[in-house]
Amino acid sequence: MHKKVIFTPTAPKPVGAYSQAVVYNDLLFVSGQISIDPDTDKLEIGDVEKETRIIFSNLKNILQTAGSSLEKVLKVTIYITSMDDYPKVDAIYKANFVEPFPARAIVEVSRLPKNVNVEMDVIAYVN
């Protein structure tokens, strides 16, 4: 089987040499999402909770376009610029996922694209 590229106008357009997501067999690999509002192409920055909500909206739109959903997410990687923001990000995460939760890694990094505070990517299945 070959890979299939996923694109939706309801999520930010790629700003580099990558796809919003790629399906291979029954797995969906969603590229890292930051807090760009796809309706305005405006970057929302400064409020980690607002950034996280926008990211979840973008993830949901990409997942839906690919025939998946948050319920089918297997693995999440979260990058944050300060572990002090962990409780805020985790609360929004818990509001978007139900048990059993996906596998997850959360990593503090020194800097993210466009100086955002949080970025997430996911692996999900499609059927």
Q: pLDDT tens across 69-115, in order?
A: 999 999 999 999 999 999 999 999 999 999 999 999 999 999 999 99
pLDDT at 1 over 80: no
Alpha carbons 56 and 62: distance in angstroms, whole number: 10
Number of residues assigned to the chain: 127
pLDDT on residue 61: 98
Residue type for 17, please?
A: A
Name the band, by pLDDT with cuts 50, 70 and 90, for residue 15: confident
Q: pLDDT tens across 23-39, in order?
A: 999 999 999 999 999 99
Name the band, by pLDDT with cuts 50, 70 and 90, for residue 56: very high
CB of 11 closer than 8 Å to CB of 2: no
pLDDT on residue 71: 98
Q: What three-state secondary structure class fits 39? A: coil
Alpha carbons 31 and 21: distance in angstroms, whole number: 6
**pLDDT, greater one: 81 or 2:** 81
Per-residue HEC secondary structure of 96-112 comes to HCCCCCCEEEEEECCCC
Q: Structural domains in the chain? A: 4-125 (3.30.1330.40)
